[in-house]
Amino acid sequence: MTRILAVTGATGVQGGGIINIMKNQRGWKIRAITRNTSSQCAIDLVNKGIEVVAANYDDEKSLSAAFIGVHAIFAVTNWWEHLQQGNSPEESDKLEEQQGMNLANAAASIPTLQHYIWSTTPHVNGYTVPHFDSKARVDKKIREELPALASITTYLSIGWYPQNIAYIPFMQPFINPITKQYMQLMPFAPQARHLVSGDMNINPGVWVRGILSSGSKAHGKYANVALEKLSFQEMLDIWAEVTGKKAMYVQATAETFTNMWGAAGHVMGLQNVLLESCDPWEETDQHVSYDELGIKKEDIIGYREALEGMKQMWE
């Protein structure tokens, strides 16, 4: 029997990476979810033979309709879109939490559903990281308010994307016109470590494939998409080696970074406080490891290799 995997965020980084792997998986058919079935990304998916269906996270009924008959759902929200639309970090948290619960409630209404995969981020008591906390609050609400859905949910923690250094303006290294050396100005302590996702076109899909083939072994568990935790200094050093550029890491204070980049800078400063204090992705008995999911090391593409694939951007 062919089962249907509904992929939300199908036109984005996470959903796109999952479709990239799962479209070739025997026994599975993809249903890609987007707000706009006429966008170029949606048309590209249709041209690859993928079913594309419209739904909006703000409209639970549209999600329930899009999920009819599916066996698995990958759900991801986009906190940054709320911030870009002029909402404060706190308002963006509320909006993301509501969208996360609209997705979860819609999923809970689907009788054919066997596996729910929710893209989340960790919360550590005593720390505030807006775009992390809102996702973690959805985890908690799924467990407290939707126990039947919780019993078939896997919480997927996706790490730092290698693409960030290329596409996020406040993370891009810039050239010092005097020394000709690249400089990356960040609010993170150089030694602070982050879970790193590796190649976003491959790794999230490899984990989702592993989770879906493991079935109940992954139910109720967290899974870290990554084998690497790198410091910000290490990430820039690897970038410098791969691109052949000289690069210098400079830590800005949280206040300076906020003055430079507004609310986004403020949020990054809060993320640094968390990362300097602990490892929020430390695996516990709540986690299922890559090994237990049947994922092989050779299937995973790490940070260095992912940058190798993008290095022409800096030529």
Ligand X SMILES: NC(=O)c1ccc[n+]([C@@H]2O[C@H](COP(=O)([O-])OP(=O)(O)OC[C@H]3O[C@@H](n4cnc5c(N)ncnc54)[C@H](OP(=O)(O)O)[C@@H]3O)[C@@H](O)[C@H]2O)c1
Give contact residues for ligand X (rule: CB under 6 A).
9-15, 34-36, 39, 56-58, 76-81, 121, 131, 158, 160-161, 164
Q: Considering only CA atoms, give the Rg of the chain.
A: 19
What is the spatial distance between Cα 117 and Cα 8, in angstroms, rounded to a whole number?
10
Q: How far is the CB of 131 from ligand X (least distance, A)?
A: 5
Q: How far is the CB of 168 from ligand X (least distance, A)?
A: 7
Tell me the residue number closest to ligand X, measured at CB.
Answer: 12
The number of angstroms, rounded, from the C-alpha of 155 to the middle of its chain's C-alpha atoms is 11
Q: Using the structure block, give the residue that is written with the tokens 């966008």.
A: 39
Q: Is the CB of 217 or the CB of 310 nearer to ligand X?
A: 310
Cβ atoms of residues 197 and 158 within 8 Å:
yes
Q: How far is the CB of 73 from ligand X (least distance, A)?
A: 13
Number of H helices, E strands in the chain: 12, 12
Q: Is the CB of 136 or the CB of 295 nearer to ligand X?
A: 136
Q: How far is the CB of 160 from ligand X (least distance, A)?
A: 5
Q: How far is the CB of 178 from ligand X (least distance, A)?
A: 31
What is the spatial distance between Cα 217 and Cα 231, in angstroms, rounded to a whole number?
31
Q: Is the CB of 161 or the CB of 257 nearer to ligand X?
A: 161
What is the spatial distance between Cα 234 and Cα 236, in angstroms, rounded to a whole number?
5
Q: Is the CB of 44 or the CB of 291 nearer to ligand X?
A: 44
Q: Is the CB of 131 or the CB of 221 nearer to ligand X?
A: 131
Q: Is the CB of 71 or the CB of 131 nearer to ligand X?
A: 131
What is the spatial distance between Cα 79 and Cα 90, in angstroms, rounded to a whole number?
11
Q: Is 105 exposed, middle or buried (0-12, 13-18, 19+ CB in 10 A)?
A: middle
Closest C-alpha to 118, from 136, 92, 91? 136
Q: How far is the CB of 34 from ligand X (least distance, A)?
A: 4
